[in-house]
Structure 1
Amino acid sequence: MPSALPVGGPAPADGVLPEQALTGAAARMFSLYAHIPFCAVRCGYCDFNTYTATELGGGASQDAYAATAASEVTFAARAMEESGLPARTLGTVFFGGGTPTLLPASDLTAVLAAAVAAWGVVDGAEITTEANPDSVSPDSLQELADGGFTRVSFGMQSAVPHVLRVLDRTHTPSRVPQAIEWARNAGLKVSVDLIYGTPGESEADWETSVRTALSYQPDHISAYALIVEDGTKLAAQIRRGQVPRIDDDDHAAKYALADGMFEAAGLSWYEVSNWARTPDDACRHNLAYWRGDDWWGIGPGAHSHIGGVRWWNVKHPTAYAGRLAAGLSPAAGRETLDAGTREMERIMLLTRLSGGIAVNTLSTGAKHEIARLIADELIDPRAAFAGHLVLTLRGRLLADAVVRRLLED
């Protein structure tokens, strides 16, 4: 969740949604995202809306945060009911950050319990928390599992100490397998996150990180290219020449290397940056984003989307807590997407999935582009002839260019 908020119109203080949000709502999955904005230290590459404990106080403090977040759950449930939305149980819940596991496990389970009380959860719901390997213990992970969590996503990023230092990651690589073992003993599914393309990371370094991650036999791996955001410590270091600039060719080579290693180890890609051991191990919460389902995001700076209506909360935790304490929506702004924008986003997101996008749902101009995309080895010809546009490995490396070509008619 980038720290800069979009520009939109005003959001109503009561949180009530327009009629557009109701159309087709019963057929869409409903999810909850809970943003936990605390970190022990700010990583040099991070542009997310996070704060260290010393930066905050009052209702925004770590001690008070669970109750504040639970109050937004209550607000959200009331706003949805007053909007006339059909009653729906939660299909997925995802706690992200920040570092959610900086809070006591009892706080996270309390927020989850508030959500379950408000909406309920479907049988077999996926309930995930992100975690740093050094922010968990056997007892905390067992408490999360006992409280309803089913999955933990560890921010491994790299197995190479000098790469972790550039990223300002605080954990030691040896802590990762220990944390994964604890999670498994608690009955939790395990995902690990990796980052490639860090300045100074060699191809051998990256291969070491991938091989090490695979040795832990996770259910799921996410691998993201490092993006240098303006205003971050890393951006300043690159600008001053203290670390090398990002290289797109290096990114492409490392993506291809990882994809081959993941596939050989039995993990298949299901989204451009995500691989799962089985279809059931794919992150259902993120699939809800890519498929345009509905979710309410609680927490400072959190984004929400229901039926083409999108809104985002105020960024600072103190302002967030203050608005909720006054009985007001914490939303800073809102936009209602028109049909053209929704179609553009549908193509942009579904194209990234291994299931692809149905050719018969594309415009005439986009259909005419398919033969050229096949000739350029960007989409799978067999899938296209069967009625779905699916990216090849080369297409995944150039996914943004494929989307632009589909939208150019």
Structure 2
Amino acid sequence: MPSILPVGDPAPADGLLPATAADGASERDFGVYVHVPFCRVRCGYCDFNTYTATELRGVSQSDYAGHAVQEVGFAAEALRASGVPERRVSTVFFGGGTPTLLPPGDLAAMLGAVRGAWGLADGAEVTTEANPDSVDADDLQRLADAGFTRVSFGMQSAVPHVLETLERTHDPARIPLVVGWARAAGLQVSLDLIYGTPGESLDDWSRSLDTALDCEPDHLSAYALIVEPGTKLARQIRSGQVPEPDDDLEADMYELADQRLSDAGYDWYEVSNWTTDASHRSRHNLAYWLGHDWWGVGPGAHSHVGGVRWWNVKHPAAYAQRVLAGESPAAGRETLDAETRRVERVLLLSRIRDGLRTAELGDAGRHEVPGLIADGLVDGRAALRGSIVLTLRGRLLADAVVRRLLADEAA
């Protein structure tokens, strides 16, 4: 598989965390991520930890929900034994892979295990990703009845030749249908788009934006295609079968998306995410950017609690063996020191509209701020209020901005 786990330190079989993980826990939200690693086909650009039916070797997709339920029980006990204060779960996110390849009853059972282990906070956000061709109206209603509040559809594009290059299998005409079914079930709707696919023109991208906006989703994500090493797409580009993505064209596409979405009443709240209202922001993803706590369930899933980060073994068979034996499925972990956590906060908070407090920068980083304002990369009015907020140009060059803000760490 292209996806590679970090090395890290050994993770204890009992899953116990150091005492420092409990520090300040009551001030942080707690979420749960459930990784469902199954796909009908693997898209050529994808490097996520996913498996088709022929790659499972020794484990059945139909047993997966039971294995995930086992880990949820293990997680609750490990946190209690580690002295981490109990908190109700604020957000649950089922990602993949394609979670909705599993029957709605399996997803409901995993959510039920989370609810039984910790309880759900009032107004908890519960999201599942779905491919447009992996659900019907009955599936979405059953998910809503089980407590799901939100669905994120992998639309990617409305243009057939772009979907073909990405190896997505759905018919673009199905997008309005699934959005309508989700709304009828009472679910909030997010649409995920990808721009910069080899062979995609600005007109193609404009057509995808129009189709998405016609559906009036509550939330929309637009990510530039990243060609990951080891993927089929990377091999196709290297061999000359398809052209490399064009950075200048991608910048034009981002600017077009921001303009079109703004005109339609959407505001950006993170570099790649827009909503019609602040209440429709992805609270689960915001928890990642804000450095809150979450337990990641499933093969290859990552977790973070109080500055301790760990990741599970990758293959579903190895994962099943661990959880059925009552052992931690973690393959490795690391404890972040204070400076590493501060640097990560700069990396993450600088990407969101609420911004990064200037006080969190080192001396050299603070000295860069006037130049960043002069270069049109940082909002000067926000800086006067003590926050770093990216302009549109700054969002296009977010990585370069971060390098300047962390100039003293790089020295």
TM-score category of the 2 structures, normalised to the smaller one: over 0.9
- Counterparts of 1:139 and 1:320, CA distance in 2: 31
Residue type of the partner of 1:270? Y
Q: Which residue of 2 aligns with 1:303?
A: 302
Q: Which residue of 2 aligns with 1:82?
A: 81
Residue type of the partner of 2:352? L
Q: Residue 310 of structure 1 aligns to a residue in which SS? A: strand
- Confirm or deny that 1:347 pairs with 2:346: yes
Q: Which residue of 1 aligns with 2:231?
A: 232
Correspondence 1:55-94 to 2 at 5 A? 55-58=55-58, 60-94=59-93
Q: Which residue of 1 aligns with 2:41?
A: 41
Q: Give the direction of change, closer, same or farther, for the CA distance of 1:31–1:2 in structure 2 (3 Å limit).
A: farther
Q: Which residue of 1 aligns with 2:50?
A: 50
- Confirm or deny that 1:366 pairs with 2:361: no
- Counterparts of 2:304 and 2:242, CA distance in 1: 38
Q: Which residue of 2 aligns with 1:21?
A: 21
**How many matched pairs?**
408
Q: Which runs of 5+ in 1 are unaligned?
A: none
- Counterparts of 2:129 and 2:162, CA distance in 1: 21
Query: Once the two structures are superposed, what CA deviation does each residue of 1:168-224 show, in whole Å capped at 9, x if it has no partner?
Result: 000010111101100000000000000000000000000000111000000000000
- Counterparts of 1:366 and 1:314, CA distance in 2: 38
Instruction: Report the CA distance between 1:362 and its aligned residue.
Output: 2.2
Instruction: Report the CA distance between 1:363 and its aligned residue.
Output: 2.1
Q: Which residue of 2 aligns with 1:252?
A: 251
Contact 2:125–2:149 (8 Å) recurs in 1: yes
Residue type of the partner of 2:9? G
4+ residue runs over 6 A deviation: none
Residue type of the partner of 2:113? A
Residue type of the partner of 2:339? G
Query: Once the two structures are superposed, what CA deviation does each residue of 1:37-66 show, in whole Å capped at 9, x if it has no partner?
Result: 0001000100000001232254x3211000
- Confirm or deny that 1:185 pairs with 2:187: no
Q: Which runs of 5+ in 2 are unaligned?
A: none
Q: Residue 343 of structure 1 aligns to a residue in which SS? A: helix
- Counterparts of 1:138 and 1:2, CA distance in 2: 34
- Counterparts of 2:399 and 2:28, CA distance in 1: 26
Contact 2:92–2:284 (8 Å) recurs in 1: yes
Q: Which residue of 2 aligns with 1:357?
A: 356
Residue type of the partner of 1:125? A
- Confirm or deny that 1:114 pairs with 2:110: no
Instruction: Report the CA distance between 1:138 and its aligned residue.
Output: 0.8
Q: Which residue of 2 aligns with 1:285?
A: 284
Instruction: Report the CA distance between 1:20 and its aligned residue.
Output: 1.7
Q: Which residue of 2 aligns with 1:31?
A: 31
Correspondence 1:97-112 to 2 at 5 A? 97-112=96-111
Instruction: Report the CA distance between 1:360 and its aligned residue.
Output: 2.5
Q: Under a length normalisation based on structure 1, what TM-score does the superposition of the two structures give?
A: 0.99
- Counterparts of 2:298 and 2:100, CA distance in 1: 15
- Counterparts of 1:380 and 1:402, CA distance in 2: 12
Q: Which residue of 1 aligns with 2:221?
A: 222
- Counterparts of 2:274 and 2:124, CA distance in 1: 20
Contact 2:2–2:231 (8 Å) recurs in 1: no
Residue type of the partner of 2:285? N
Q: Under a length normalisation based on structure 2, what TM-score does the superposition of the two structures give?
A: 0.98
CA RMSD of aligned residues (A): 1.0
- Counterparts of 1:129 and 1:268, CA distance in 2: 23
- Counterparts of 1:260 and 1:156, CA distance in 2: 20
Q: Residue 221 of structure 1 aligns to a residue in which SS? A: strand
**What is the percent sequence identity of the aligned residues?**
67
- Counterparts of 1:9 and 1:386, CA distance in 2: 41
Instruction: Report the CA distance between 1:258 and its aligned residue.
Output: 0.3
Residue type of the partner of 1:8? G
